[in-house]
A and B are shown apart, each in its own frame.
Chain A
Amino acid sequence: MTIETAPKPTTSVGGAQRSWRDLLPSAAGPLIALILLITASSFMSDSFLTLTNIFNIGQQVAVLAILALGGTAVILIGGIDLSVGSVVGLSGAICGYVYVVLHQPIWIAALAALVVGLAAGTINGALITVWKLPPFIATLAMLSVARGLSLVVLDGKPLSGFPDGFRNLAIYYFGGIVPSAVVVVVVVFAIGIAYLKWRPSGRALYAIGGNEEVARLSGLPVNRLKISVYALAGVMAGIGGLLLTARLDSAQPTAGTGLELDVIAAVVIGGASLTGGVGTLSGTVFGVLIIGVLRNGLNLLNVSSFWQQVIIGVVIAVAILIENFRLRSKKAKQLGSKKAKPGRKSTTQ
């Protein structure tokens, strides 16, 4: 969805002629940044642009990507979810507890993890819509609760010893090269992109983010959708928790700590607006990849993880500055073209 088009003098009233700019994906900014980053990295390190390394990046960002899908939906409706990192930890903990301690089959353990994610998200949604807590507060509370619970469940110690079938969820390599985690991400995003574009409720999310009261008065089921979005974010955190546990072959009480901030960073770098109503999943993909490529490139260059944090912080700020600058020049252009309207009116009448 593009937000602006410069009206052309030839356009008829109410007509929807669109300019060539609209043919660019709305996530053009992050895409260009990603290409630049990849180009720079491939010059600086010989091992960067190898298939192995590329799928390695995919493997590394898979959990972040899964969470960022839910995060995009949350930010689209003008909300925020700070709890997903903790829910990753909790769902992994539940999976480990059910399988290792309770000796249940692995599929029951995995299902339990997803149910816990769903429950955490639904509680977030209910707190926000029914009891009117600000999303920041509700999910901050859940951040603490879920992390605490995962420490309780695991008694502060990691559990390991998962079956191979489960571990293959993350580390099976299709054709010996494509990691299964990447396949999971691709499938989930394909469904998500199609949903946001073609399902009425997908478009309704944009309406809620655009103006919640207008959406409500338009008869859209705003509360139901908002709860669903937070529930989705919870389920995604559940899937993320499973992937992470499978990859590490270990359920750790502190797994996913701080991930929620990476999620917000990826979504925002991908062009979404924290005030809601603006953003795309394809943008989020690029945002996730920018973070992944940056980390990977810096690793290959042996930059210390301390400096990596500094650099990623700078990239976030610069990305948003560029986006703001772009929007401002677009706005100026739109005002400029509006000025021409009276003249257009008089020539066509």
Chain B
Amino acid sequence: MEQGLKVERISKVFPGTKALDNVDLHVSYGKVTVLVGENGAGKSVLMKVLSGVYQPDGGQMWLDGESYHPTGPTEATERGIVLIHQELSLLPNLSVEENIFLGRQPMRGLAIDRKTMRREASSLLKQVGLEVDPSTIAGKLSVAVQQQVEIAKALSQKPRLLIFDEATASLGEDETERLYGIVSKLKSDNVGIVWITHRLIEIPRVGDNLVVFRDGQLVHSWDHINVPESEIIMAMVGRSLESIFKVPHEPADRTLLEVQGFSQTPYFEAVNFSLRAGEILGIAGLVGSGRTRLARALAGVSIAGAGTVSLNGKTIRIRTPKDAVDAGIVLVPEDRKDQGVAQIMTVQDNLMMPSLYSMGPLLRFGLMKNVAKDLAEKLKVKGHLHQVTATLSGGNQQKIVIAKWLPLNPKVLIFDEPTRGIDVGARASVYETIRGLAESGVGIIVISSELPEVLGLSNRILVMNKGRQTGILDRSKATEQAVMTLAVR
């Protein structure tokens, strides 16, 4: 009889995507199986299948040689498999102990046995190294502490297999260390662990073996963790970084955009840069460094307090988005859902929105349909022109946000976090589109929190730190280290 959890050819289909595609996985007791993959690779879906939240559409699962097909989280818990959610699931209005024993309170007759509950809660909290009063209201605790309570709750269910879904995402360094300690103690108690993460540095800290997910498939597994990082990345994204980020072409000599002394107190001060036609300028910096503020001011979404912006040598005044759009500066905003596309409108309505006024005094529906169709085909937007945009995936919605600007022939396109929350395939095609636009002479500004993205796409990189421009690096000199040094200086 095989010990542990065995998963064979599990599939799960969602509208529009195959979230899991014939996945095989084996998790042994007393081992930590690390599962990595990009957003949307299927990691979390698999874990929800294992913990009974979702039912698979195909495949088999065995626990210790017995068939395992939980119909819900309760059954999974009874069989000993517990998921610690990515999002906190504590009830903020209840006490810690009530949260830990929710629905399973120790009883004495008809009443809850408060004494036993408190005692057991205390000992569980001690196990995870927490020193909080079990009667504390959960909502008053910090996110990190809540996470630890969550683990204590999981332990109270005496799991044989524990699944951690991005458990360190909200933890500081100390707390992360403590969590590693808890994990190694669980291991020595012969609990099987699945550790989902997208931080590669965690792999050597906790892992025993490693599997990589991509587009709903398990694409690679190693029974050890001594794997070079580049190999892991290649498995995650399906090709080497070099092939995704081809060297950008050499921009023209002509200066397109000149920004001088651009300020919006207190968000950013005295930003100076120029952008050549066909150039891709990356803007890097930590969250709060003023990157997005800068982009929004350039696009007229908010008004800059001082500075000049000139386009093709002519100074322009940008006070509204319309001013910017009329001048040829357009923005693909960070918040796609609320600023990029109108969710309740159709794909065609969204695609044609910026060009309504350039279609002549009376709209021609045949023409609009053809333009929209061309745009959708050009950027490979999946789905239907008359489909409500809300039903499309994030990647397809992002393509619409980019495509809607193209009929206006923009001179400068600003991308704020162009690939946030979209899957690998769409990501590659967004990069291709950005490069294609640059090659056709459009000036591009790309803001991203993902350094590899900025480094891979840009000709030059402007680094910001607390609202100040700390340097502009040429592609040849821009390493992750060099950028980070400027970003935190």
* B322 sits at the interface (CB 8 A): yes
Q: Are A14 and B356 in contact (CB under 8 A)?
A: no
Closest chain A residue, CB of each to CB of B335: A213
Partner of B15, one of A2, A11, A338: A338
23 A-B pairs whose Cβ atoms sit less than 8 Å apart in the complex: A7-B383, A13-B377, A13-B383, A14-B376, A16-B384, A200-B357, A203-B349, A203-B356, A204-B353, A206-B345, A206-B349, A210-B345, A210-B349, A211-B338, A211-B342, A214-B340, A214-B341, A216-B301, A217-B321, A219-B354, A335-B15, A339-B15, A341-B15
**Other 20 A-B pairs with CB < 8 A, given A203-B363, A278-B344, A335-B15:** A1-B349, A2-B386, A4-B388, A7-B387, A11-B384, A14-B377, A15-B373, A16-B385, A207-B342, A210-B344, A211-B343, A217-B340, A218-B325, A218-B354, A219-B324, A219-B325, A219-B326, A219-B330, A335-B391, A341-B16
Q: Could you say which interface size class chain A belongs to?
A: 35 or more
Q: Mark B334-377, 1 if CB is under 8 A from A, else 0.
A: 00001111111110111011101101011100000100110011
Q: Are B18 and A342 in contact (CB under 8 A)?
A: yes
A29 CB to closest chain B CB, in angstroms? 18
Q: Contacts of B377 on A, CB cut-off 8 Å?
A: 13-14
Q: Are B363 and A199 in contact (CB under 8 A)?
A: yes
Closest chain B residue, CB of each to CB of A22: B386
Q: Mark B59-72, 1 if CB is under 8 A from A, else 0.
A: 00000000000000
B423 CB to closest chain A CB, in angstroms? 14
Please, how many angstroms separate the alpha-carbon atoms of A172 and B369 in the complex? 45
Partner of B384, one of A15, A204, A216: A15
Q: Which of A196-210 contact B (CB under 8 A)?
A: 197-201, 203-204, 206-207, 210
Q: Mark A184-197, 1 if CB is under 8 A from B, else 0.
A: 00000000000001
Q: Contacts of A210 on B, CB cut-off 8 Å?
A: 342-345, 349
Query: Residues of A with Cβ closer than 8 Å to B?
Result: 1-5, 7, 11, 13-16, 18, 22, 197-201, 203-204, 206-207, 210-211, 213-221, 277-278, 334-335, 338-339, 341-342
Please count how many residues in chain B sit with their CB below 8 Å of the partner chain's CB atoms. 53
Q: Contacts of A5 on B, CB cut-off 8 Å?
A: 384, 386-387
B367 CB to closest chain A CB, in angstroms? 12
A15 CB to closest chain B CB, in angstroms? 7
* B333 sits at the interface (CB 8 A): yes
Please, how many angstroms separate the alpha-carbon atoms of A16 and B16 in the complex? 18
Given the contacts A5-B386, A199-B363, A210-B344, A218 and B321 also touching, CB distance less than 8 Å: yes
Q: Are A214 and B342 in contact (CB under 8 A)?
A: yes
Q: Contacts of B353 on A, CB cut-off 8 Å?
A: 204, 207, 214-215, 218, 220
Please, how many angstroms separate the alpha-carbon atoms of A197 and B359 in the complex? 13
Q: Are A218 and B345 in contact (CB under 8 A)?
A: no
* B382 sits at the interface (CB 8 A): yes
Q: Are A277 and B388 in contact (CB under 8 A)?
A: no
Q: Contacts of B331 on A, CB cut-off 8 Å?
A: 217
Q: Contacts of B43 on A, CB cut-off 8 Å?
A: none
Q: Contacts of B380 on A, CB cut-off 8 Å?
A: 13
Q: Contacts of A1 on B, CB cut-off 8 Å?
A: 346, 349
Q: Contacts of B376 on A, CB cut-off 8 Å?
A: 13-14
Q: Are B322 and A16 in contact (CB under 8 A)?
A: no
* B17 sits at the interface (CB 8 A): yes
* B381 sits at the interface (CB 8 A): yes
* B299 sits at the interface (CB 8 A): yes
Partner of A3, one of B299, B344, B359, B385: B344
* B404 sits at the interface (CB 8 A): yes
Please, how many angstroms separate the alpha-carbon atoms of A277 and B353 in the complex? 13
Given the contacts A14-B373, A218-B325, A334-B391, A213 and B385 also touching, CB distance less than 8 Å: no
Q: Contacts of B361 on A, CB cut-off 8 Å?
A: 199-200
Partner of A207, one of B326, B339, B345, B363: B345
Q: Contacts of A206 on B, CB cut-off 8 Å?
A: 345, 349
Please, how many angstroms separate the alpha-carbon atoms of A339 and B15 in the complex? 4
Q: Mark B191-226, 1 if CB is under 8 A from A, else 0.
A: 000000000000000000000000000000000000
Q: Are B339 and A213 in contact (CB under 8 A)?
A: yes
Please, how many angstroms separate the alpha-carbon atoms of A201 and B357 in the complex? 7
* B241 sits at the interface (CB 8 A): no
Closest chain B residue, CB of each to CB of A224: B322
Q: Are B387 and A217 in contact (CB under 8 A)?
A: no
Q: Contacts of A215 on B, CB cut-off 8 Å?
A: 342, 353
Q: Contacts of B343 on A, CB cut-off 8 Å?
A: 210-211
Partner of A4, one of B16, B301, B381, B386: B386
